[in-house]
Copies of this chain bind each other. A is one copy, B any other.
Amino acid sequence: MIRFYNAKIMTMADGCAVKEGELWTDGDRISYIGETPAELPVFEREIDAQGNLLMPSFKNAHTHSAMTFLRSFAEDVPLQTWLFEKVFPYEDRLTPDDVYAFDRLAILEYLASGTTAAFDMYFYPESSAVAFTESGMRLVFCGSINGTAADVERLNDQFQKYRNMHPLVKYRLGFHAEYTSDESLHREVARLAQSEHEPVYTHMSETKREHEECIARHGTSPAQYFESLGMWQYGGGAYHCVWFDEADRTVFRKNGLWMVSCPCSNAKLASGIAPLKEAYEEGVQLALGTDGPASNNALDPFREMYLGAVLQKLRHDDAAALPAAEMLRAATVGGARAMGLTDCDILAEGKQADLILIDLSAPNLQPPHHIPESLVLSGSRADVKLTMCAGKILYENGQYYAGISKEEILADTASRIARLTG
């Protein structure tokens, strides 16, 4: 059992209220939240939070973690050049061991930023499963097939293999995007989702061109087209949703789907600004993701929250657009629920102990007029003091635990990058 005392606690069970008290963990779960009782059990460790903030950890609801190897490889080039000359040829060279190594590089950054779960789409799932479980961090795979109905068998194989492989690993049905697969694949994925009672996820309406080409092909937008196929009978969601009108948002609201926004990637790749204000006001469920580190370029939930908030103000020419605290919710509770991690979404007795400790004495968080707004508008990943996943402390005051060696990971990835891009 681990005890955090002298803490401010934002459980996020009930908005963003902050209370003083203590929190205990027992194994991988939270066993107590409340005032200091008269009698205390024996703990393996007692942590004086010194008035700092315990809150749910961040959940990265869309990423391609292993793309760390291409970060800053080619900047300020047009999107098509970047993809076809600087990404695809180098991804072709990746081995399963490379993916393991580059996932571990991403994990260093996730943990230092307070992120304990990644909703990941990439090659070689076996490699990623090993990298994440070894590190003690959660991984939710999203299926990333493209092509035709024949490819859905591979999706189902992966789904059956990974859905229950490890307490820290989940698998969600998914495919790359409407524009990289044909109608036979879409119909077969919908059928699989219905037979398995599972949600489905995909990239959607990230660029204007892709969105309009779907309308030309299918007579309607991706969101409405997939709904017409019965894809979302058991929920799911989509990544990006930049070109997303009221009818699309209505499909999402009606079906309880998650709009997973990636504001930094959408800015850097000049895709556009997603209509988060409208979606929030209409009751669409929101989550945040970083997208891959080559198109962002950080894996930093604080930067996503900030851009998510302020770009709505620019888009609407209104400094009052979208409450900042909603971005905090999207980056934590929203992300967890979007990827189906309903057991580690908030801080509550009996829930998984996935939490972070934020340094409230950080100069950038002064004065503490409104803590949730401060976290979104002036918070920094430098303010994360401790990251715990499933009751294990994985990062604390700049140090990694659970057998994670930063030096070893940096040396290993450096030699692989020299081989791949040399």
Contact = CB atoms under 8 A, between A and B. Distances in A.
Contacts of A323: 75-76
A299 interface: yes
Given A105-B363, A311-B267, A73 B293 contact: no
A318 interface: yes
A366 B68 contact: yes
Kindly report how many copies of this chain are found in the complex they form together: 2
Contacts of A270: 313-314, 316-319, 321
Given A313-B269, A316-B270, A377-B297, A367 B413 contact: yes
A71 interface: yes
Interface stretch (A77-85, A153-161, A174-182, A224-232): A77-85
Interface stretch (A12-20, A254-262, A378-386): A378-386
Contact of A300 (B267, B364, B410): B364
Interface stretch (A2-10, A124-132, A368-376): A368-376
A417 interface: yes
Interface in A89-133: 105-106, 108-109, 112
Nearest to A298: B378
A222 B272 CA distance: 31
Contacts of A417: 367, 369
A296 B374 CA distance: 11
B303 A264 contact: no
A316 to B, nearest CB: 7
Given A311-B267, A313-B269, A366 B410 contact: yes
Contact of A268 (B369, B374, B377): B377
Nearest to A380: B381
Interface in A293-333: 293, 296-300, 303, 306-307, 309-311, 313-314, 316-324
A191 interface: no
Interface string A372-406: 01100110111000000000000000000000001
- Most B-side CB within 10 Å, residue of A73, A76, A316, A322: A76
A421 interface: yes
A104 to B, nearest CB: 10
A72 B269 contact: no
B75 A268 contact: no
A73 B413 contact: no
A239 interface: no
- Most B-side CB within 10 Å, residue of A75, A78, A273, A406: A75
Interface string A50-94: 000000000000000000110111011111001000000000000
A76 B322 contact: yes
A363 B272 CA distance: 28
Nearest to A108: B363
Contacts of A382: 112, 380-382
21 contacts: A69-B367, A71-B366, A72-B368, A72-B370, A72-B378, A75-B370, A75-B373, A76-B320, A76-B322, A79-B319, A106-B363, A112-B363, A112-B382, A267-B313, A268-B310, A268-B319, A269-B313, A269-B319, A298-B380, A361-B406, A380-B381
